[in-house]
Amino acid sequence: MVDKKILLLGSGFVAPPCVEYLVRKPENKVTIASRRLENAQALASKFPGTVACSCDITNEEAIEKLVAKHDVTISLIPYIYHALVIKAAVKYKKHVITTSYVSPAMMEYDQAAKDAGITVMNEIGLDPGIDHLYAVKTIEEVHRDGGKLKEFISFCGGLPAPEDSNNPFGYKFSWSARGVLLALKNTAKYLEKGKVYEVSGTDLMDSARKLNTGYPGFAFVGYGNRDSTPYDVRYNIPEAETIIRGTMRYDGFCQFVKALVILGFLSEEEEAHFAADAQDITWSQVIAKTVGIQDNSREALEAAIIAKCDLENHEQKAQILDGMRWLGFFSDIKVHRRGSLLDTFCATLEDKMQYGENERDLVFLQHRFEIELKDGSHQTRTSTLVEFGKVGGYSAMAKTVGVPCGIATQLVLDGKLTATGVLAPMTHEINEPIIELLEQEGIGMVELIL
């Protein structure tokens, strides 16, 4: 039995289910590399056949040395460093797996990867990843049967389970609060009924729509996620009149966030009263400055917020104000000053909105396909994934990102995924083996014809 050497860059929360999948085969020897050695050691201690090392991912020479010693590198580090990993992999003719979207910097190595005869497999987590697998599956089935895909609408959300959604956002943080909030500034672009719409970050929350998922127990809303328009080419659906890929949240999230946006809570501008050496300041004082009044009593602050956010006749006025009370906005609680209103706010969110020890998360992903069949008749199909985290085990998000990544890695090692270049799961030749193994792990989308 020949050892297969795997380098895992990164030891974050999606890494353990990936490693657990790979170490089932004794010939797989995994090196876990992290900037902080103790993080890599903590993960390696849980799995036989693994060793830990430290690695500075900004150091090209250090990356090269590690990549050269292994058959395949799994890169779970921030996406801006993937191109550096791919560059080293091309040099030493080694394979690479990432769960990230293919960036222009990564795509620059496509021909070099082909020339080197290596597989650089990307977008193989949840979203992107599982979403691609089942979208392409249905689209190819429709085309094979002579049909046309007229509408493709897909929403995905990583959320707390309903019983643990006990805060005004209906959301909890398993990663950077700052990253979640800044994503709300992104412009969304999508195709609907033949027309391209572009929604600026400031209008994103207003664009949210209630989602009819067929699961009445969940009250979801969705809004566009970045640019959906390239998917006419990526999914080979030039005939589609509607293509929307978006983010899913519990109802109430968007209305509450919109009020916070109006108040300026996404501002990254440094302000003197948030400086590290400034005097202590309370939340009620911060809100008074934010709405431009002197009086920081609860009554005065609520009245100013209602006026500034136009909440007087808003159906969720009481809910939004209750949420602000929950955050401590009308209290004498001292804020954790971090330079800007955004970062100061994030400090509070990170205190109050982490997952508790016995809480679990939920991943909900649904595709909706509107199809014109060969005979001209109409058909609606859905593909739905509902995955709950396990208390004391893996979160749903970690499992649905880490396991597909592990499967793709194993298929490359076994010579069953042999396409070369910088790839994403966009063809049945790549996708079908992954889906088969994914469903053996109890992860898969339920497909229905309505």
Spatial distance between the Cα atoms of 148 and 355, rounded to a whole number of angstroms: 43
Among candidate residues 127, 131, 164, 343, the one labeled active-site is 127
Return the ∠ at Cα 442 (arms to 438 and 443), rounded to 5°: 55
The C-alpha atoms of residue 427 and residue 422 are separated, in whole angstroms, by 14
Cα–Cα distance, 91 to 79 (Å, whole number): 20
CA–CA distances in Å: residue 409 to residues 4, 31, 66, 99, 252: 11, 14, 17, 11, 39
* Radius of gyration over every alpha carbon of the chain, rounded to an integer in angstroms: 24
Look-up of token digits 């039995």 = 1
Task: Round to whole Å and give the CA distance between 242 and 224.
Answer: 13
Backbone angles phi, psi at 61, to 5 degrees: -65, -40
Pairing of β 4-9 and β 72-75: parallel
Q: Based on the residue annotation, tell me whether 131 is a catalytic residue of this protein.
A: no
- Joined tokens for residue 210: 């209630």
Q: Would you please indicate which residues are annotated as catalytic (active-site) residues?
A: 127
